[in-house]
Structure 1
Amino acid sequence: MRKIFQSIVPILLASSLVLSACSTKAPVKEAAKPAEGVKSGEAVTVNFWDNYTDPTQSKAMDAIIANFEKQNSNIKIKRSSMKADDQRKLIKPALLSKEGPDLFAYDAGPGYLGVLAKANLLMDLTAKSESLGWNKRFPSWIQERNTFNKKIYGVGTQVEMLGVYYNKKIFKDLGVNVPKTYDEFLAICKAAKDKGIVGISLDDKDQWPAFHIESMFYTAVAGKTEIEAVLNGQKSFDQPIFAEALDTFKKLITDGYTTKSPLAISYDDGNKEFFTGKAAMRMTGTWMVSGMVENLKEDVGFFLLPSVKPNLPLMAPGGIGGTFAVSSGSAHPDETVKFLDYMFSTDTAKIWYEANIIPPLPIDVNAINANSLFKEVVSLSATPAGLSYNIDVLMPQKINDVTMNDLQELIAGKKTGADVVKNKQKAFEEEKAKGNY
């Protein structure tokens, strides 16, 4: 079985580099020459697709583009922003038609970026990584998640992790503290239920939210090492420890600790339930920091789901939120790479952090205008154990299609954890046999 990465390295390296203000930063180099067929000084347009639909993050991207265009009057960035689900459907046909973007955001897993690389639809950025100093500027694990067949095809957009947001006011009223063990976590759920408060705001009408719960409980019950063994083809999802992880999650629902009828609740409505103080906790990702602060101000905190198995270290699933890749059919490859390089330069680090995005760049967060929740999240990303894996972004879409339906059946009580992991592994084997992983 081939490995999904050239090698597995501790994600702790990334966290330490992100948090260190003293790390060596590679200089941002200028593009050597205009694209072929473009006269010197002639303006060119780089078509750019991204997924920054959140208002705060979108504003940050606009600011980065404006600053870049001021410094490069001959390059114009034509930005199109869309939801990730919509882009997944559009990107491959767009690239094949040669009418697609020059630069675009995409999932970094073997079932996504890896498939486009195999189809020769992406520009090989290995030489650019060397000449522009990306190997010094970005943590090695981020480069590895964009590497297929020893070639680099993208730059990681941000460091993300999954955890538990909590309402500080509700915790105070319940007389509870941030849990250090899973038993303490369950005790908080029970205390909330006894007071008529939803313990955990849970939704899966949109199907994808359950993927995050799956990754969190795989990490808390099975652990990172077991997950890695599956991703590397050494073990199977279809084993009792992963089934137990899903059944442990399901017990939260059957014990009445979550939102009633989560399959009828959208992600946005799940957030609203938490924002309005109807739920004590909310399991989701760090991309929600700005929304949490906007709605709850200083009344919101964040912690990592305690390990269910006492022998496992405290750890959150995480990785890069996505990648930026360049089309192999780009008419302006040099200008496109120049903009990509600028997006993750020392000039832009402060903009990203103040938009509550953790870029793959070092900065002292105490020196920027960041809210206390964001600083708390960045601190937790540096836990000694590092980060585990967010499974769905690594899986081909057909595996996710099978799993999202099975997770809904699990939530509805129609399937067990054993059923879900058996079907997931079957789909995994089928996709690997087709060369889609």
Structure 2
Amino acid sequence: MNTPSRRDLFRGGGLAAAALTLSACGWGRTEPSGTGTGTGAARPGLKVWDQFTTSPQNEAVKKIYDRFQGAAIARSAQTGDQLTTVGKTALASGTGPDVIYYQVGAGNAGVLADAGLLRPLDDVAAKYGWLDRLTPFAIREASLDGKLYGLPNESENTVLFYNKTLIEKAGLTVPETFDELLTFVAAATKKGYTPIAYGQSDVYPSWWAFSMMAGNLAGAQPMGDLIFDNKGSWNTPQLVEAIQLFFVDLVKAGGFIKDLNSLGGPDAQSLFLAGKALMNLNGTWAVGTIEKDMPGQEIGIMAMPSVNGGPRVYPGGIGSAYYISAKSANADLAAEFLDSLYQPEAVKLWVQEGKIFPPVPFESGGFTLTPLQELAMGVAQNGGGDARANIGYAVNHGLASPGFLKAMTSGFQAVVAGDKTPAKQAEELQKAWEAGLTS
């Protein structure tokens, strides 16, 4: 019972309702799987499965893998949903990849680790100095039960993209407080726009929304302590208010389309890309798609507006990480390959061409970045202010179990439908959280 990749929400096809059984980004594949890269047939082979199926990431990854001279890379690019379906079986059989790019967290890679299918990487991290090179946040994301299992990639933040061009044309101003947001959505609706492109028939979007509101109401660090260390509770007045404000008050104010529970993430994003919505609740992983499909539009990035003068938090996370199969006969070679992914020239390719921010410090002075990339980079580095206060955590990471993830998805849908109160949802989230810790 794993969760699908966020990237799948931007590749077409969407996520079936069956995903709620819980088998983080794009819709529709543009590249076939099984793409081979690397040269030199005399070198040993290394099988790598990743999720970079769309432009511009796919092309950048080809170049990054081609830099590695230690082995001929046999690459298979698949959606995260596909990897969730076949990854565990392939790894268990020994016929799968040496390296798999898989979603982080107890409900994702944790399932593979519990089955003994992933190789712990603490010794490798010490050998290559990863703990000094990678950000502590990313190390925390890719660790399970105190052990490092993956080499994390894709520093991502949940954000609100806003179309400044259309907002100014409509005679509106970008809201800074939640009260201003309620006024903004009412005015935008009267002018014929969907205020916020957001739909929650897929599993991920409601988690993004709750992460934003929870960070603003409860605080970034307290949420991190709860998500990763089980310090605190999901059933608190702050989190009940977070649920109330977004899933009840903002819905009643006309913030979204009326049939919110039937709208998938891909269709919500399409509203924004087509200029029919003024904002899009999404993540920095969508920068490349927005730039490609919205030429001539000035797009901004903001956090959820402040509640009662509190902080504005960008929930952060690592989309996925590279893991080495416990059954790989090429584990040392695989570790060497992973280290090559964050050499300076590879980092430049990730950022400049793949439009992805790897979780390592780097100077962007020599890079060619677009204005939207610059904004996303600022969010990733410090949240536009104090990193400790303004960069938060994704509620579906850390210790979140499949049962807890399901309780969020179905529960928030019930709140929007009027079938469950925010207080009841907070109570049931805490029960699901506790059950997941003991299962």
TM beyond 0.5: yes
| 2:402–2:436 contact (8 Å) kept in structure 1 | no
Counterpart Cα distance in 2 of 1:233 and 1:266: 31
1:243 maps to a residue whose letter is V
- Look up the match of 1:409: 414
Alignment correspondent of 1:56: 56
Match status 1:265 vs 2:263: yes
Where does residue 178 of structure 1 map in the other structure? 174
Cα deviation for residue 301 of structure 1 reads 1.4
Tell me how far apart the structure 2 counterparts of residues 202 and 314 of structure 1 sit (CA, whole Å).
Answer: 19
TM-score (norm 1): 0.84
What's the % identity of the aligned pairs?
A: 29
- The answer for the alignment partner of 1:44 in structure 2 is 44
Q: Which moved more, 1:271-280 or 1:301-310?
A: 301-310
One-letter code aligned to 2:85? K
Flag the 1:340–1:116 CA change in 2: closer, same or farther, 3 A: same
User: Structure 1: which amino acid aligns with 2:246?
Assistant: F
Distance in 2 between residues matched to 1:134 and 1:202, nearest whole Å? 37
Partner SS for 1:260: coil
Rounded to whole Å, the distance in 2 between the matches of 1:176 and 1:371 is 25
Q: Which amino acid aligns with 2:239?
A: F
SS state at 2:106 partner: coil
Which residue matches 1:20? none
1:109 touches 1:393 (CA, 8 Å); kept in 2?
Answer: yes
Deviation at 1:48? 1.2
Q: Which amino acid aligns with 2:44?
A: V
Contact 2:141 2:397 in 1 (8 A): no
Matches within 5 A, 1:277-296: 277-296=275-294
Q: Which residue of 1 aligns with 2:375?
A: 376
Q: Of 333, 336, 340, which residue of structure 2 is paired with 1:338?
A: 336
Residues 146 and 152 in structure 1, CA contact (< 8 A), matched pair in contact too: yes
Describe how 1:8-407 pairs up with structure 2 within 5 A: 43-68=43-68, 71-72=69-70, 75-231=71-227, 232-250=229-247, 251-297=249-295, 298-310=297-309, 312-354=310-352, 355-381=354-380, 382=382, 383-384=385-386, 385-394=389-398, 395-407=400-412
Q: 1:339 to 1:237 in 2, by over 3 A?
A: same
Contiguous gaps of at least 5 residues in structure 2 = 1-40
| Other structure's SS at 2:246 match | helix
Aligned counterparts of 1:114 and 1:256: Cα–Cα separation in 2 = 39
| CA root-mean-square deviation | 1.9
Equivalent AA in structure 1 for residue 62 of structure 2: D
User: 1:148–1:322: structure 2 CA closer, same or farther, 3 Å change rule?
Assistant: same
**Higher deviation after alignment, 410-419 or 319-328:** 410-419
The answer to which of 253-262 and 225-234 deviates more is 225-234
Question: Which whole-Å deviations, capped at 9, do the CAs of 1:26-50 have from their partners, x for residues lacking one?
Answer: xxxxxxxxxxxxxxx9532211111
Deviations 1:210-240 (A, max 9, x none): 1111111111222224423433223221223
TM-superposed CA distance for 1:130, in Å, is 1.4
Distance in 2 (alpha carbons) for counterparts of 1:296 and 1:174: 18
Q: Distance in 1 between matches of 2:121 and 2:170?
A: 53
**1:181 positional shift:** 2.1
Which segment is superposed worse, 353-362 or 287-296?
353-362
Secondary structure of residue in 2 paired with 1:308: coil
* Distance verdict in 2 for CA 1:433–1:79, change over 3 Å: same
Q: What residue in structure 2 maps to residue 421 of structure 1?
A: 426
The range that moved more, 196-205 or 277-286, is 196-205
**Contact 1:221/1:309, CA 8 A, preserved across alignment:** no
Find the counterpart in structure 1 of residue 37 from structure 2. none
- Inter-partner Cα distance in structure 2 for 1:361 and 1:431: 32
SS of the equivalent of 1:207 reads: coil
Q: Which region of structure 1 is more displaced relative to structure 2, 376-385 or 326-335? A: 376-385
Report the residue type matching 2:101 in the other structure.
A
Q: Once the two structures are superposed, what CA deviation does each residue of 1:383-434 show, in whole Å capped at 9, x if it has no partner? A: 3124111111332222212221112112222222222222222121111112
The CA distance in 2 between the partners of 1:148 and 1:205, in whole Å, is: 29
Q: Which runs of 5+ in 1 are unaligned?
A: 1-40
Give, as a single letter, the amino acid of the residue that structure 2 aligns with 1:254. K
Letter in structure 1 aligned against 2:243: L
TM-superposed deviation, 1:190:
2.4
Distance in 2, matches of 1:253 and 1:315, equals: 21
Q: How many angstroms apart in 2 are the aligned matches of 1:352 and 1:165?
A: 22
Report Cα offsets for 1:269-296 as digits up to 9, x if no partner.
1111111111111111111001111111
Give the superposition deviation at 1:149. Answer: 4.2
Deviation at 1:199, TM superposition (A): 0.8
